Structure 1
């Protein structure tokens, strides 16, 4: 990230400890008592840390942790006091009900700001609780347009939305891939269904035809019945609104029953995990990301090196965005010279930050002013860019 060009200083990164029921508080030294002049500032990080989406959640949580550790190494002061940032990590299981319980735990713990939640379905119900409390939240992976259409003054998003993704994917499918007859499947979640709806509208606007619409769940593993129905419609392309945990087995089963149509998903499919789950059936699949590709992110190379050094693992998807989201919160606190939500919240709409993921500034709704959508195809076991990022105003897309 251009905002903080810091090397991770090993001596400043101490042991992480778990301290709250259902969550973990991470800090430079969470077990040490605070000095009398030291100010503890808690950042809430909400993600699915268990279950089928845990690889996404851990990745996103690690982005927050890295940002906090680097801020602690820098030595931030607020109101004349040295700050020790801590990360309170909570497992929302990508479940709306659990997410509201997590939100209440954050409030009870007195957190100063929220990064998350990972999924739209978990974020939207939790966001009302944060709004009522006046607690700032910056979403790094929430793509449902509904998130910022609620009219809350405390919610911000640093990534493009599903209206933009659906439009870009549909235009590419119809114009570039020449797919005229398209079948659509979604997982009935806020994210999956919303994305599929936006994609369907954009297909029709581009001159394509939706020949079949089927539904599954985000816990399913057997898709043979719906795929058999789709095979009878003889589509040119099958689009899936959902996550990699279902998309991987789905393309395997498509191959098994002889569906020759191309397969396309969105950012929920664009992961290394999808490649593992789909095996050889993954080859040729199309997807998108609601942001720039890693090879053109302005600060990705340095971030990736630091991330791999710290966590000994590959970035899955949203760690660069949660890193930037955390920096957005910290930057607003620094400008306000306070971590009190009521004092630094007015600074968030003024954000002008050159981040790892690109330039971050917000419109009146809290959306990133110019969202990017990049399209990919899986070739030789790797996601490769097939359409360069296109900028479009987030407010106009809604």
Structure 2
């Protein structure tokens, strides 16, 4: 009898385990796992950023934006398909590196992530997007500005920020038309973001009637720019434009002034950060930069978001937290309208987005670009970035 009972228990246990395994596999296929006791569905959202290295301050800022959106959704309570949902952020460090980004993307897919906010940089986002596309996983970027990102023909890639073509045009028109710079030197860091931005800027300078007197190149890990800057000094430029990030722009400006060069310094959104001002100190005073988006003061929800962000993370916003917060909300909104966390069901809803975000009205072009993407221009004054054009609509039109 004991043998019969034991055999029955083993069989029952095996059946139960098999049933659980089947249930887990089915749940993982939709990127979620139900909690047996409560019937609660856990839905995983990926957040991919550089969390170590020179761009970690950007990555943590962007990741915090996603975290805040998901925490608010969980606090409010969401039900999909009749089940209560708990959203979980899966944060990964892509090191702003293309190879690491593809590895992160594959880990996301393997772990059942249903959607991704990120990646932070264009060089990481573009190769990763191919993996997400093959898996049918939606990707909403809050900071990817390379035009190539939405030119790949994928239906799963979206961005809620203006692209580099718009930034390059706006900056060039301002440099030539407003600053009256005629002799312009251009440096880039050879990344997808930096080189693409510099190319667009250089073309727009020539179109606006200015002259690019020299192009130079560096890397996104360099710290010594004296040789490059010395070669530029011989050209006597009115303005030097850098396509790259604040980690290099800060030391570059200090070395620029050390050489006695009085040329104006200009960058784009990679330079428009508090970190740049800290790295360059007084030598950064008067620098110009753009932001791929409306001025903070013109964002409809910025003031309240800024208060919430500082309370939650005890830190200032670096740059993209409002955009990644809105990107996460785009995904949540699409799931609610689809009443499902299955990517096959809510991906089509992303393209139909009509959402009032912190950063403004969010809707998408057929290729995934945000509609009416704005560009704003800033100057560093007394250690703080000050908007040069108060009307964001004027800035947006300047980029067309």
Instruction: Please indicate, yes or no, whether the TM-score normalized by the shorter chain is above 0.5.
Output: yes
Query: Corresponding residue for 1:123?
Result: 125
Matched, 1:366 2:397: no
**Alignment check: 8 A CA contact 2:35 2:42 kept:** no
Native 8 Å contact 1:34 1:40 kept in 2: no
Which of the numbers 341, 347, 361 marks the counterpart of 2:349? 347
Please identify the structure whose Cα radius of gyration is greater: 2
Match of 2:196 among 194, 197, 202: 194
Q: Deviations over 1:175-215 (max 9, x none)?
A: 00000000000000000000000000000000000001000
Q: Distance in 2 between matches of 1:290 and 1:339?
A: 30
SS in 2 for 1:188: coil
Say which of 134, 150, 153 aligns to 1:151: 153
CA distances 1:327-377 after superposition (whole Å, capped 9, x unpaired): 000000000000100010010110000000000000110000111000000
Query: Whole-Å Cα distance in 2 between the matches of residues 391 and 313 of structure 1?
Result: 28
C-alpha change, 1:391 and 1:182, in structure 2 (3 Å) is: closer
TM value normalised by structure 1 = 0.90
1 or 2, which has the higher strand percentage?
1
Q: Give the whole-Å Cα distance in 1 for the aligned partners of 2:242 and 2:35.
A: 50
SS in 2 for 1:183: strand
Measured in 2, the distance between the counterparts of 1:303 and 1:126 equals 29
| Distance across 1 between alignment mates of 2:37 and 2:314 | 32
Q: How far apart, in 1, do the equivalents of 2:72 and 2:348 lie? A: 24
Once superposed, what is the RMSD of the aligned Cα atoms? 1.5
Whether the aligned pair in 2 keeps the contact of 1:47 and 1:92 (CA below 8 Å) is yes
Match of 2:82 in 1: 80
Instruction: Tell me the residue number matched to 1:51.
Output: 53
Q: Does 1:167 align with 2:146?
A: no
For each residue in 1:297-340, what CA deviation from the matched residue of structure 2 results, as whole angstroms up to 9, or x when unmatched? Answer: 10011101110010000000000000000000000000000010
Note closer, same or farther for the CA distance 1:34–1:355 as it changes in structure 2 (3 Å cut): farther
Aligned pair in 2 of structure 1 residues 166, 89: CA closer, same or farther (>3 Å)?
same
1:225-266: CA deviation from partner (whole Å, max 9, x where unpaired): 000000000000000000000000000000000111000000
The residue number in structure 2 matching 1:317 is 319
Unaligned runs of 5+ in 2: 1-33
1:255 aligns with 2:257: yes
Whole-Å Cα distance in 2 between the matches of residues 275 and 36 of structure 1?
50
8 Å CA contact 2:51–2:57 kept in 1: the answer is yes
CA contact (8 A) 1:371 1:391 kept: no
User: What is residue 3 of structure 1 aligned with on the other side?
Assistant: none
Flag the 1:34–1:48 CA change in 2: closer, same or farther, 3 A.
Answer: farther
1:294 CA drift (Å): 1.1
Task: Tell me which of 75, 99, 102 is aligned to 1:100.
Answer: 102
Aligned to 1:303: 305
Report the Cα distance in structure 2 between the residues aligned to 1:347 and 1:391, rounded to whole angstroms: 30
Rate the CA distance shift 1:277–1:391 in 2: closer, same or farther, 3 A: closer
Give the SS at the match of 2:374.
strand
Find 2:210's aligned residue among 200, 208, 211: 208
- How many angstroms apart in 2 are the aligned matches of 1:339 and 1:138? 15
Q: Decide whether the 8 Å contact of 1:361 with 1:369 is kept in 2.
A: yes
Q: Distance in 2 between matches of 1:132 and 1:211?
A: 43
Match of 1:36 in 2: 38
TM superposition shift of 1:37: 1.1
In the TM superposition, residue 296 of structure 1 has moved relative to its aligned partner by: 1.1
1:22 maps to which residue?
none
SS of residue paired to 2:59: helix
Which residue number corresponds to residue 26 of structure 1? none
Deviation at 1:36, TM superposition (A): 3.4
Query: Which structure features the higher share of helix residues?
Result: 2
Number of equivalent positions: 365
Please list every run of 5 or more consecutive structure 1 residues that lacks an aligned counterpart in the other structure: 1-31
Which secondary structure state, in structure 1, belongs to the residue aligned with residue 216 of structure 2? strand
The Cα of 1:173 is off from its aligned counterpart by 0.1
- How many Å apart are 1:73 and its aligned residue? 0.5
2: distance between equivalents of 1:361 and 1:283? 37
